[in-house]
Amino acid sequence: MMDKLLSIVLPSYNEERNISKATERIGRILREENIPYELIFVDDGSKDHTWLEIERASERDPHVVGVHFSRNFGKESAIFAGLSNAVGACTAVMDCDLQHPPETLIEMYRLWEQGYEVIEGVKRSRGEESALHRMSAGLFYRIISSAVKIDMSRASDFKLMDKKAVDALLELPERNAFFRALSAWIGYRTTSVEFDVREREEGESKWSTWSLIKYAVTDIVAFSSAPMQLVTIAGVFMLFFGFCLGIQTLFRYFTGHAVEGFTTVILLILLIGSMIMISLGIIGYYISRIYEEVKGRPKYLISKKVGSTRGE
Ligand code: UDP
Ligand code: MG
């Protein structure tokens, strides 16, 4: 049975009301389809009773495995912890708030059986969002798409991957891993299935505007050095500007009108000063990311585990 086993990774942060629901709903569908499975809930340092719910679910249902983080490490870390604890021949990642429909999972599994190694869940619709949110998400995905060279505008974290692809992902040494883009970066025989994002039934989304901005900046920096090249482009632009202004200044000097132009000096100091500071900031941000990577701290720390489907 192990060679058909489907592991499902469910990152969970403050999802006490979704654990048993997800266990039942996903379990029912997979049993109907006769697919052997395990559910790996990764409790990302929840502040509510999520872990208690996972323990209970695992007592009731031997398919449930739980991993508990020592604190909140973020969804990306939770995904990677789940992947490295999965024993299946293929592993799926989905949200435990049931926004990713379990029916699509079946479709993905069938495609895996046909020999596909990475099956990406693609959003048919983006669900309810404000105009501002849609615009900034659009900008973010344009930058990321050009960095990965694959259209990411409808990408999601809902995927199913063959063990080979999972192992390839786990071998990547970087700390700051952006799962959504890395799964495309590794290549392999890839296909996609469309799904409709469902409304969240219980609890609320964990994303504030600020955390989304932080997430976007981190991921862009993790995948692209384009912002640093902006510094060079700005420099070239300033050089050109300086050249023109230099000619004008010299011309004035030789025609005897050199005292004027104090406004220009002030404006130039302000402009150049702010550009240098922004540039240093961008470079500094990359250095801080390099510093994070060099420190080599683990992506996450596991404090507790429950259940095991190993050797069944
Ligand atoms: N999540 C997590 N750690 C976090 C934030 C979220 O593991 O720090 C999980 C959360 O429990 C859910 C999934 O990531 O299963 C998606 O989160 P959410 O529903 O809040 O995001 P949205 O669906 O609104 O994008
Ligand atoms: Mg959600």
- Look at ligand 1, atom 16, and give the residue with the nearest C-alpha: 95
pTM, rounded to two decimals: 0.76
Residue 127, pLDDT score: 63
pLDDT of 310 > 60? The answer is no
Ligand nearest to the CA of 48: 1
3-state SS, the chain, equals CHHHCEEEEEEECCCCCCHHHHHHHHHHHHHHCCCCEEEEEEECCCCCCHHHHHHHHHHHCCCEEEEEECCCCCHHHHHHHHHHHCCCCEEEECCCCCCCCHHHHHHHHHHHHCCCCEEEEEEEECCCCCHHHHHHHHHHHHHHHHHHCCCCCCEEEEEEEEHHHHHHHHHCCCCCCCHHHHHHHCCCCEEEEEEECCCCCCCCCCCCHHHHHHHHHHHHHHHCCHHHHHHHHHHHHHHHHHHHHHHHHHHHHHHCCCCCCHHHHHHHHHHHHHHHHHHHHHHHHHHHHHHHHHHCCCCCCEEEEECCCCCC
Yes or no: say if 159 and 183 are a contact pair by the CB < 8 Å rule: yes
**Ligand 1 atom nearest residue 205's Cα:** 20
**Strands 118-125 and 90-93, how do they pair?**
unpaired
Residue 98, pLDDT score: 85
pLDDT band at 201; cut points 50, 70, 90: confident
Distance between Cα 95 and ligand 2 center (Å): 6
The arithmetic mean of pLDDT across residues 276-300, rounded, is 85
Distance between Cα 200 and ligand 2 center (Å): 6
Residue 137, pLDDT score: 80
The arithmetic mean of pLDDT across residues 236-243, rounded, is 83
Q: To test ligand 1's pocket by mutation, which of 206, 208, 302 has the most ligand atoms within 8 angstroms of CB?
A: 206
Q: To test ligand 1's pocket by mutation, which of 16, 73, 80, 97 has the most ligand atoms within 8 angstroms of CB?
A: 97
Give CA angle at 292 (290, 295), nearest 5°: 105
Query: What phi and psi, each to the nearest 5 degrees, are found at residue 265?
Result: -60, -50
Residue 235, pLDDT score: 80
The arithmetic mean of pLDDT across residues 122-138, rounded, is 76
Yes or no: say if 154 and 226 are a contact pair by the CB < 8 Å rule: no
Residue 224, pLDDT score: 77
The arithmetic mean of pLDDT across residues 210-223, rounded, is 80
pLDDT digits (tens, 9 = 90+) for 19-34: 998 999 999 999 998 8
Q: Which residues pair with 69 in a beta bridge?
A: 302
Of 91-95, 125-129, 184-188, 286-290, least confident by mean pLDDT is: 125-129
pLDDT band at 312; cut points 50, 70, 90: very low
pLDDT band at 92; cut points 50, 70, 90: very high
Distance between Cα 46 and ligand 1 center (Å): 11
pLDDT of 16 > 60? The answer is yes
Yes or no: say if 5 and 34 are a contact pair by the CB < 8 Å rule: no
- Look at ligand 1, atom 23, and give the residue with the nearest C-alpha: 205
Higher pLDDT, 281 or 118: 118
Mean pLDDT, the chain, rounded, equals 85
Residues with CB under 6 A from ligand 1: 11-13, 15, 44, 72, 74-75, 78, 95-97, 99, 205-207
